[in-house]
Structures are given as C-alpha cells and as structure tokens.
Amino acid sequence: MLKRPSSRRKSSAEGINLNLVPILDTMVTLIGFLLFTTSFLSIVHIESPFPISSEKEMEEQLKEKPLQLTVSVHESDTELWSPFEKFASKKIPHALPGQPDIAGIHSGLLEIKKLFPNETKLVLVPHAATTYDVLVSLMDSARAVEATDAPIFARNPQSGNDEAVKKLFPEIIFGNLLSAPGGDS
C-alpha cells in the first residue's frame, strides 16, 4: 500500500504566491496608452528658403563675385558649376536614365568643399522631371558629410583652430523657382 505524503513536508515546500493581477492591469493600461501615442514613423525635414534678392544685393554680389555653387540637374547629366567661374565646372553623367549619380555628385561636392571650406550655400537647379525622391537624395548628399568621407578642416574664426566640418553645404536654395514651367534655369 502506498504511503500518503506527509502534510507537514508539503506545506513547507509551498512558496509565496505573489498576486500579479494588479501589476498586469497596470501593464496592459500602459501598453494601451503607449501604443496609442507612439509614432513609429519618424518624420524629418530639410529646410529651404525662397530666394529673395534685390537689385542692391545683385550689384553687391557682382562686385564680390561669390562662389555661388550651383548644381544643375539636366536630362542626362548633373553639372557642378559657379557663375563666376571660381572652379572648373564638372559634368557627372546620370547613373541610370533620369537618376543622377548621387555618389558622384557627393564626391564632386567634397572636392569643392576642400577648396572652399567656409562656404555653406548651394543653389539647386533640378530638371522639371526630377522626382521628389531624387530631390531629397540630392539635398542629403549636398548637406551631410558621411562617416566614410575624408575629413575636411576649416578654420573656426572664433577659436582660430582648424576643425573638421560636419556639414557640406547645408543652406540649399532652389535656383529656378521663378522660371516658366518646363524651363530648367
């Protein structure tokens, strides 16, 4: 005949059962609130002002002859140039039809940044058929210095030290906003 287990031993082996139900209630409420308020798509922006120029400014510009780095996207290539010929213009053929070579443009802009490390402005002249996707990629490549890029140093006027630049040309304006539809420039 089997022996009945001792009731004393059984009671000592029993652990304390924590009542998890209120914690569970709190957790479920918290998850509900977080799911309702969390935005999983994080949206970022690239700012660009509308170009405003007066006759006085134009006259001063003509006297000073600034760099006025311009990136013109044509049907088959992209051109990096300066209206005052501060550097030799460069044409970069598209990687695919209608798709500018973003990596090529970025390396071209890096070379220009090396020559003019304190310049921050860039004029973008896209082709009428350029898609918004390409437009954002172009602005990204013109604004940011990638981690894999060779460092470019610029003199900080406040400290007098040479510091690595963190942005290429962050101030982007569109150069053909006032031109007639279908026109590039």
Partner 1 sequence: MAFHRSIRSRRGRRKINQVFELQLTSMMDVLVIIVVFLLKSYSTTINTFTTVPGMQLPISRSEEMPPESLQVIITPEAVTFENERILEFVQTAASLDGSGPSYEFRKTDLDEGGRRIVPLYDALTKARDKAELLRAKSKTRDEKGNPLPFEGVLAIQADKRVQYETVRRVMYTSAAAGYKVFRFLALKKE
- The reply to whether 139 sits near partner 1 by the rule CB under 8 A is yes
* Per-residue mark of binding to partner 1, 49-68 (x: CB under 8 A): xx-x----------------
Binding region for partner 1 (CB under 8 A) out of 21-29, 58-66, 101-109, 110-118: 21-29
DSSP 8-state class, residue 170: -
For residues 67 and 126, which CB has a smaller minimum distance to partner 1 in the complex? Answer: 126
- The reply to whether 28 sits near partner 1 by the rule CB under 8 A is yes
Classified as helix, coil or strand, 78 is strand
For residues 91 and 167, which CB has a smaller minimum distance to partner 1 in the complex? Answer: 167
From residue 30, alpha-carbon distances to 26, 34, 39, 40, 164 in Å are 6, 6, 15, 17, 45
- The reply to whether 47 sits near partner 1 by the rule CB under 8 A is yes
Q: At closest approach, how far in Å is the CB of 41 from partner 1?
A: 6
**Alpha-carbon distance 32 to 107, whole Å?**
47
**Alpha-carbon distance 116 to 85, whole Å?**
13
Contact yes or no for 168/110 (Cβ under 8 A): yes
Residues found near partner 1 in the complex (CB under 8 A): 1-2, 17, 20-21, 23-24, 27-28, 30-31, 34-35, 37-50, 52, 126-133, 135-137, 139-140, 143-144, 174, 176-178, 180-182
